[in-house]
Structure 1
Amino acid sequence: MVASRNGIATGTAVDIAADVQAGRASAAEVAASAIARIEAAADLVAIVDFNPEEGRAAARAVDARLAAGERLPLAGVPLAIKDNIWVGGRRVTQGSLLTADFIAPADAITVERLKRAGAVIMGMANTSEFACKGLTTNKVYGTTRHPMDPTLTPGGSSGGPSSAVAGGLVPLALGTDAGGSSRRPPAHVGAVGFKPSYGAIPRGPGFPSPFAGISCPAPIAMTVADVALMFSVLRGPDARDPDSLLLALPDDRPPEALRLAFSPTFGLDAPVDAEVTEGLERAMAALTRHDLAVTRRDPPWPEGASETALMPAQHAGLAAIHGEAFRRDPDLFDPDIAAQIERGLALDGATVARTLILGQEITRALGRFFMETDILMGPTVPCVAWPNDRLGPERIGGQDVAPRAHAVFTPLFNHARVPAISIPVGRGRDGLPFGLQIIATRGHDDRLLSFAARVEAILATEGLWP
């Protein structure tokens, strides 16, 4: 049932859709409540392109479809779309002055499917420029803030969608994930972020992407059930995306029958804050108490595999797409993105090729690992959220670190093209959340979501997360 608190509707997407479909609430009522929340939270800079009347009109259209007898799996559910995904007729900026006035000529396939399912798009959610930064700030809209503390960042690049969901503005958001952009920010704000298998959700039409072959549309919500509901609408091939694919048949084995592995650092030489390590260990102990046998096992990465080693592919992609515009007017760009473009322009072809080959080797190595393991678990992030005036924390695990050290645990799974989900697993200093990352082999997204729901329930039963 959709509850009400001070006139503002609250509830999961599953509950809202059920109530609106059954006539216990109208899409118009739910939209009005979401509009009030968004307007009251403008300082969050989460939903940045917002037209209340468009939201009201979309909700009325959903109510009319329901009155005509349609059944809509996302009936009346308010939704935010990351500001790098095309929504036909809307301003979509990519967080860049280059495209600050761009009006999308068509809906992305994902947006088509969400609208068809009865979701109500409330607005565009902020992103770092070109979705290429672990901090959500840009020259178009400014800095997105953490819903628990406005001096902190939710991370990036899907900081806007994640803050919008965790801040209670909307129950669902659609992000993108090419290196952890829709897993790390949810981990920092206490939400659920799901990167599906590459190709499970079709991409385009839209902007050219600097992340060839790894970027995925990514559902964000507060529960695994809401993410799974959204994924059920988005999944499945489309001829417009030749990389889109059919997934494996659902796995009917119970979680107790799965081969489970836990790796405290995923076999990478990376520092982790003690509070994160302790929280993950508590979670693993809880799973063991609930008859889930977990083995300690690191993935066998190829030599040299790391987040840093993979970055040339991103820099080269940015340079290929935006290099000429950068040469004409570098002041248009976020300085951090400009630095990436400059690095990309300076790269030689052999360096880029080595990065792409490393990605293939990572895919094969993880594939071999999953021949003997069904589920891999470990940290989403090595630290909690940090101040929003810097690219990353200066210290993690008691060590001085580079600005991207917070991003170490997610990109390799993009290059391996496997499904990965982050769910809240605990709180560190000042009550700030961090996440457990759960990974399965490519195509087994249903297995991953089912297992994540079981873990979520165990954590709630054990009092580790509400």
Structure 2
Amino acid sequence: MSVMELSACDLAAEVRARRITPLEVAQAARARVAEMNPQLNALTLVNPRLEAEAESVAARLAEGEDLPLAGVPVVIKDNIWVKGLPITQGSRLFADFIAPEDARAVARLRAAGAMILGIGTCSEFACKGATKTPLHGITRNPVDPSRTPGGSSGGSVAAVAAGMAPLALGTDAGGSSRRPPAHVGVIGFKPTQDLVPYGPGFDEPVWGISVIAPIARHMEDIQLAMSVLADVPRAEPLRGSFAASADFGLGQLLDPDVDLAFAAAMDALRGAGHSLTEAAPEWAGLDGMAIMPLQYAGLAALFGDRWQQDPALFDPDLGAQIDSGLRLSGRAVAQAHQAGHRMAQILRDFLTRFDVVITPTTPCAAWPAEDSAPATIAGARCGGRDHAAFTPQANHSGCPAISLPCGRDREGLPLGLQIIAAPGRDAALLALAAEIAPLLKRIDIFQKEAP
């Protein structure tokens, strides 16, 4: 097995045991980026100080430091500050911005011995479900480069899926580090709100819903990352009553293969002894579009003046959001705030009756990379946010949620399973996901021989 195929846990163990040096890891990671990134456009840049960081990790190990992420290369999303590197939010407005300091999450990774490999592409201002910007171009899915990895954490997930790094950081304000992992076949974890330190960094369009989110190929790496980022301990998995809903109570159509994979996952969980009840929150007409005015208004407040001066600087899709925000009334924004509050209450109340609720991560697989959203779901024309139907509820309620790989569709494109728990139950949710993940790896809805 090559160095870049190792999990973060195994790689760090090899480095700590002196069987491989941090410099050798850095060189292997740089070579993998050189091989894969020209086709995928997953990274905006490779850290020019990568080898120097490797030498620093080696020196710290020689001095006897205990480094749980010793020599592990990590990709950081292009909206999270990394001191001394260009962090652009995928925007021409920030093309020359150099981060003055590390975000606290980045500092914690460095303190644990991680090396910053590079910066992962993201959609402009992390406000779009596909990763393509006027500044950095189109990011592609490693499973099928004609498809998108989703957004906004598209570069981070593409880098992990392509073996450039075993671990990455994304952000998640509406599913941006759950849907993209589902589209490329890796794991993304959205922690409880404010569990992982957020910032210092850029102003947010909507405060209080975004989190720093680890992305990895292996559950043990997600658990290791959370122990470093937020001191989350290992715990016993949740064992109570689980709610399961293919449409999360929203009436959202699913592509047939998503429906099949979800049903197969539920059969696998029941076969493993888990108690499942078909149930979903009663949303009282609330869906993801009810809260979108918050994003539009926030973008307008931050960038409306610049957009009016020079709209060509912006991704047209972001320009449309800003324009919508400029035209919103105060009443409409207040209504969106109320919608977000009610959404939070409904999901939190539901999770007093069930330990978790399980849904598909997305109602469809990845769509063509040139498109901002799928044109159809289940053969029917769909709205621009239908692909994101199942994820923003966890953000507005502050709940932890995880996306696990869950089979592939008939075209071989990955699908995902989402599990949501009540705020503060991160450790038990991670333990449950670690137990469930091997079951999901065996799902093959077309009865092909498992790899």
TM bin (shorter chain): over 0.9
Deviation for aligned residue 1:395: 1.3
2:244 aligns to what?
262
Structure 2 unmatched ranges of 5 or more = none
8 Å contact 2:407–2:443 — kept in the other structure?
A: no
Deviation for aligned residue 1:449: 0.4
1:115 aligns to 2:110 (yes or no)? yes
CA separation in 2, counterparts of 1:30 and 1:403?
Answer: 41
1:330 aligns to what?
311
8 Å contact 2:408–2:444 — kept in the other structure?
A: no
CA separation in 2, counterparts of 1:86 and 1:373?
Answer: 37
CA separation in 2, counterparts of 1:398 and 1:332?
Answer: 35
CA separation in 1, counterparts of 2:257 and 2:436?
Answer: 20
8 Å contact 1:96–1:333 — kept in the other structure?
A: yes
1:372 aligns to 2:372 (yes or no)? no
CA separation in 2, counterparts of 1:458 and 1:162?
Answer: 22
Deviation for aligned residue 1:463: 6.6
2:429 aligned counterpart, secondary structure: helix
Superposition pairs for residues 157-196 of structure 1, below 5 Å?
157-196=152-191
Distance 1:81 1:250, change over 3 A: closer
| CA RMSD in angstroms, aligned pairs only | 1.5
1:317 aligns to what?
298
CA separation in 1, counterparts of 2:330 and 2:373?
Answer: 30
Structure 1 segments of 4+ aligned residues over 6 angstroms from their partners: 462-466
Alignment counterpart, residue 297 of structure 1, candidates 269, 274, 279 = 279
CA separation in 2, counterparts of 1:360 and 1:77?
Answer: 39
1:358 aligns to 2:339 (yes or no)? yes
1:415 aligns to 2:396 (yes or no)? yes
CA separation in 2, counterparts of 1:46 and 1:115?
Answer: 22
1:439 aligned counterpart, secondary structure: strand
Distance 1:387 1:463, change over 3 A: closer
CA separation in 1, counterparts of 2:153 and 2:251?
Answer: 26
CA separation in 1, counterparts of 2:266 and 2:22?
Answer: 41
CA separation in 2, counterparts of 1:15 and 1:224?
Answer: 12
CA separation in 2, counterparts of 1:460 and 1:125?
Answer: 26
Deviation for aligned residue 1:49: 1.4
Superposition pairs for residues 217-228 of structure 1, below 5 Å?
217-228=212-223
1:123 aligned counterpart, secondary structure: strand
Moved more, 394-403 or 137-146: 394-403
CA separation in 2, counterparts of 1:460 and 1:124?
Answer: 29
Q: Deviations over 1:156-215 (max 9, x none)?
A: 000000000001111111000001101000000000011111111011110001121100
Distance 1:338 1:463, change over 3 A: closer
Alignment counterpart, residue 456 of structure 1, candidates 411, 432, 437 = 437
8 Å contact 1:391–1:404 — kept in the other structure?
A: no
1:198 aligns to what?
193
Distance 1:361 1:250, change over 3 A: farther
Q: Deviations over 1:30-58 (max 9, x none)?
A: 1111100001112210011114x411111
CA separation in 2, counterparts of 1:272 and 1:431?
Answer: 17
Deviation for aligned residue 1:261: 1.1
1:47 aligns to 2:28 (yes or no)? no
Superposition pairs for residues 206-245 of structure 1, below 5 Å?
206-235=201-230
Q: Deviations over 1:123-182 (max 9, x none)?
A: 100000000011101111111001022211011000000000001111111000001101
Deviation for aligned residue 1:462: 6.2
CA separation in 1, counterparts of 2:389 and 2:66?
Answer: 43
Q: Deviations over 1:397-428 (max 9, x none)?
A: 12111222111111111111100000001100
2:76 aligned counterpart, secondary structure: strand
8 Å contact 2:400–2:421 — kept in the other structure?
A: yes
Deviation for aligned residue 1:232: 1.0
8 Å contact 2:405–2:441 — kept in the other structure?
A: no
1:134 aligns to what?
129
1:400 aligns to 2:395 (yes or no)? no
8 Å contact 1:250–1:444 — kept in the other structure?
A: no
The amino acid across from 1:329 in the alignment is D
| % identity of equivalent residues | 49
2:417 aligned counterpart, secondary structure: strand
With normalisation by structure 2, the TM-score equals 0.96
Structure 1 unmatched ranges of 5 or more = 237-246
1:98 aligns to 2:99 (yes or no)? no
8 Å contact 1:17–1:74 — kept in the other structure?
A: yes
8 Å contact 2:198–2:211 — kept in the other structure?
A: yes
Superposition pairs for residues 134-153 of structure 1, below 5 Å?
134-153=129-148
The amino acid across from 2:176 in the alignment is S
The amino acid across from 2:10 in the alignment is D
CA separation in 1, counterparts of 2:426 and 2:282?
Answer: 22
CA separation in 2, counterparts of 1:74 and 1:35?
Answer: 18
Q: Deviations over 1:429-461 (max 9, x none)?
A: 221001000000001101110101111022246
With normalisation by structure 1, the TM-score equals 0.93
Q: Deviations over 1:311-337 (max 9, x none)?
A: 100001101111111122111111100
